[in-house]
Amino acid sequence: MSFSAAAGKVAPTVIHTDAAGLAHGDFQLPVDDGAIAAYYAAPAGKQNLPIVLVVQEIFGVHEHIKDLCRRLAHAGYLAVAANLYERQGDASAYTDIPKLVAELVSKVSDEQVYADLDASLAWAARNGGDPARVAVTGFCWGGRLTWMYAAHNPAVKAGVAWYGKLSVGHGPLIKRYALDVAQDLRAPVLGLYGGRDASIPLADVDRMKASLAAGSAPARRSEIVVYPEADHGFLADYRPNYNAQAAQDGWRRMLDWFQNHLQ
């Protein structure tokens, strides 16, 4: 794999995490109005596992998100990723991001997501997970929702938000933003951001830090790390913005964060 030490960049190299020793697969997640598609991964044969709710990036629950679930399972977690806008359509059918946002993402309310994440947690608790040890992590679209859900559900003990927007959302249904809930977090959140991410101004990151410092006890225990050379989506190994150094460091920090807060 080619690597530039100066920039921390690699050519897009899709990482595939094998499922040896794991129980994993697609399933139908029961929700308030029926069922939606979801994916899970966990160490095979284990019970009372810490739970990680994995919140998709804007492209839905595709292979990259499933791979992240398997990585978490190899680290000892029961990871669950629900397709949070299946009701609105099939994200995999889109190649144009503005069209995807206009036709699907903008029609998803936070309340719908909260209910589906609650359902994911309930399913995990019935299938080998420990409801007393719950974390949430999300990417891009899901990064914003990590902040939001950590303020919404008191069952969450830790969150890790990967490059989630702080002062905006997607579409007219979104009424509150991460900055609005920063001081009311019920669980400490680790925010991971790229210094070259034009979609999330560093001024917003600085405002978020100030809000966290003036907030609840979990808010004050939250942290934000900025990788100066990283762009948006730096964990996404299938995309050109992948940054190996930031991705590896962020993943290590996430696992340490979960270990420290899910005791």
CATH number at residue 209: 3.40.50.1820
Type of residue numbered 127 = N
Which of 69, 116, 140, 170 is catalytic? The answer is 140
Residue 75: burial class (beta carbons within 10 Å; 0-12, 13-18, 19+): middle
- At residue 110, the pLDDT reads 98
Distance, CA of 134 to CA of 124 (rounded, Å): 10
- At residue 94, the pLDDT reads 93
Residue 18: burial class (beta carbons within 10 Å; 0-12, 13-18, 19+): exposed
- At residue 12, the pLDDT reads 57
- At residue 263, the pLDDT reads 78
- Residue 197: active-site member: yes
Which of 197, 204, 231, 237 is catalytic? The answer is 197
User: Domain containing 251: what range?
Assistant: 3-261
Q: Where are the alpha helices (DSSP H) in 63-156?
A: 63-74, 97-103, 110-126, 141-152
Residue 257 backbone phi and psi in degrees, to 5: -60, -45
- Residue 204: active-site member: no
Name the DSSP class of 183: G
> Which is nearest to 179 in space by CA: 201, 152, 197, 204?
204
State the total domains in the chain: 1
Q: Could you state, in chain order, the average pLDDT of each consecutive group of 10 residues for the chain (263 residues)?
A: 33 86 98 97 98 97 98 98 96 93 96 98 98 98 98 98 97 96 98 98 98 98 98 96 97 98 90
Which of 64, 170, 232, 261 is catalytic? The answer is 232
- Residue 232: active-site member: yes
> Which is nearest to 197 in space by CA: 229, 175, 171?
229
- At residue 2, the pLDDT reads 25
